Amino acid sequence: MKKLLKIFVIYLFISIPFFSLADDKKQNIENIYLLLQEKKFQEAIKNLHILSEQNNVHAQLLYSKILYSGDLIPQNFEKSYFWGLSALLGGLKKSSIILEKLSNYLTEKQVAEITTQLKEFLESRAFTKDKRAIIQIAKLYENFTEPSDFINAYTWYNIAVAQGIKTAKSKRDEVLDNLNEKELLDAQTLSIKLFKKINN
């Protein structure tokens, strides 16, 4: 059992890159790995949950892997999918591997419910001026609703651009091509309303 835990901790160390983390976030994640190395598993999981709730996508991917494996806490595929999808929307493409595995165990209804819960989580983060969450919501509406919700995708990309996220501009303009005149008016009206809510 000890050998298995050691192998698992080593796997976690090499499976998530550090190079794209800001210094403070990098330090937080490194603290998690240190706790795992010291076998302070409960403290590590508690801190990992806190970081995930703060929308640290690297913590979310690690938490998703732990929830999937069930080696440190009981398996929970729904929560694993939730955090894995959030990390994917936050730009961690490696998350798609675990989401693909989880798709074998979750129904379409479960996935739809998780997606709704994630939308609510990200919106609450966006209203605290979390810029990453704004992009994540836009991506969710564009790529993870059935059918794609281009009105809401445009709305959130439009807000992202107005919040100074330059990378969102090309995505906003791509989504724009999928809207007719009325849909565009609705999306822009909603953008203005939500932008004011975020910045008040």
Pick the closest to residue 5 from 36, 35, 50 (CA basis): 36
pLDDT class of 143 with cuts at 50, 70, 90: very high
Pick the closest to residue 105 from 71, 77, 67, 84 (CA basis): 77
Pick the closest to residue 160 from 148, 147, 173 (CA basis): 173
Q: Is the pLDDT of residue 21 over 50?
A: no
Kindly report, residue by residue over 91-129, the tens digit of the pLDDT: 999 999 999 999 999 999 999 999 999 999 999 999 999
pLDDT class of 200 with cuts at 50, 70, 90: confident
pLDDT class of 29 with cuts at 50, 70, 90: confident
In whole numbers, what is the pLDDT of the chain averaged over residues?
Answer: 88
The pair of three-digit structure tokens given for residue 60, joined into one six-digit string: 């979310």
Instruction: Please give the biggest Cα pair distance in the chain.
Output: 62
Pick the closest to residue 16 from 105, 83, 106 (CA basis): 83
- 52, 65 Cβ separation under 8 angstroms: no
- Alpha carbon distance 15, 149 (integer Å): 33
pLDDT class of 28 with cuts at 50, 70, 90: confident
Q: Please calculate the CA angle 82-87-93 and round it to the nearest 5 degrees.
A: 125
Pick the closest to residue 84 from 50, 111, 107, 108 (CA basis): 111
CA distances from 198 to 124, 133, 138, 166, 171 (A): 10, 12, 15, 18, 21
Q: Is the pLDDT of residue 35 over 80?
A: yes
Q: Is the pLDDT of residue 181 over 90?
A: yes
More confidently predicted of 20 and 53:
53
